[in-house]
Structure 1
Amino acid sequence: MTTGARALLIAAMVVALVACDNLERQRKARDQAASDFFPNGQVQQAPPPGTVPRGAAAREAELRQRPALTAELLQRGQDRYQVYCTPCHGLAGDGHGTVVARGFPAPPDFTEPRLRAAPEGYFVNVISNGYGQMYSYAARVAPVDRWAIAAYIRALQLSRHAPVGQLPAEDRQALEHAP
């Protein structure tokens, strides 16, 4: 390396170090602090009207399209149901979850006639937006998982009201010999 190149490299390093120091002392605003930049004097500003969060359009498109009913979708629905729904709704969907046992209001039983007649999109909407005491799970549950949970809720409803004649012979025998 030549003396000129070495001197240029050292000068570039000194400029970089000085620039880093400027970043440390730059003027900045903290959340919830006062600001003389905005007319209302606040640092945090509401987004402009009509602003759409990044990825929101894609998530909305996923919600509009129900995925195909497969064994994998039901398995995923069972998994996500057990993570997010059982604390309140219980494993059987009867509304007797652990938080209900500790004094929280009981959610409805999924086998109520009103809920058995509801389309799957109703459950997706409730997961997305909340209903009654239930808050929105939109930030926690991906759109495809909402459909999976709705499909699993349908399976729970069917399992608790399946006619015995539609069961396989081995399941009917197990029921007949159950205590």
Structure 2
Amino acid sequence: MLTALFFTIVFAGCQGSTSEKPPIHLNPNMDSQKKYKAQSYSNFFVNGSTMRMPVEGTVARGDLREDSGFYLGIDRNGRELTSNALEITNELLVRGKERYEIYCQPCHNANGDGQGLVVQKGLLPPPSFLDDKVKNFTDGYIYGVITNGVRTMPSYRHQIMVKDRWAIVAHLRKMQGK
């Protein structure tokens, strides 16, 4: 009997009416707390800044990468690597072909001519890997394009592991006859 009365009262209160009053927050879970927001003014610090500079020598977790050639495709002077950062082995070429077929072939086609399935469906064609201009790109440049994207090509930084990007570059060079 009490249960029926309880549900009647609850459902009667849910008639869809509006109210100007804020809803009752029974379990706040620290939803409303005093805090500084990034780039806001602070009276606490002398310079008035809320954000603090990291301690000198601090490295963000997972971002200590000593080999810029391997991770970025550039040397210490900022020049693109002219050759692959990895030793070219049969296993690397097989892995590169597998990754190429998964990530690159839909746009660039199996032979690298840029006439893949997405082009056949009406999208703009990507460059052909068989063109002399593309053949003259450095390995570091191609690695950078895979990593960061260019024009209509998206970045594959989060989809393809670093070693696999270099494997794809090795496979492209094999396709180009280099």
TM-score (norm 1): 0.61
Matched, 1:84 2:91: no
Please state how far the C-alpha of 1:27 moved relative to its aligned partner: 2.3
Aligned length: 127
* In structure 1, C-alpha distance between the alignment counterparts of 2:53 and 2:176, rounded to whole Å: 42
Quote the offset at 1:52 in angstroms. 5.9
Which structure 2 residues correspond to residues 1-179 of structure 1 after superposition, within 5 A? 27-29=29-31, 36-39=34-37, 53-58=60-65, 61=68, 62-63=70-71, 64=73, 66-158=85-177
Report the CA distance between 1:145 and its aligned residue. Answer: 0.6
| Alpha-carbon distance, 1:57 to partner | 2.8
Cα distance, 1:149 vs structure 2: 0.2
Deviations 1:118-141 (A, max 9, x none): 111111000111111001100111
Q: Tell me, which stretches of 5 or more residues in structure 2 are unaligned?
A: 1-26, 41-50, 74-83
Residues 80 and 131 (structure 1), Cα distance of their counterparts in 2 relative to 1, 3 Å cut: same
RMSD: 3.0
The alpha-carbon distance between structure 1 residues 48 and 98, as it changes in their structure 2 partners (threshold 3 A), is farther
How far apart are 1:53 and its partner, in Å? 4.8
More moved, 48-57 vs 105-114: 48-57
The percentage of counterpart residues that share the same residue type is 35
**Structure 2 length as normaliser, TM-score?**
0.61
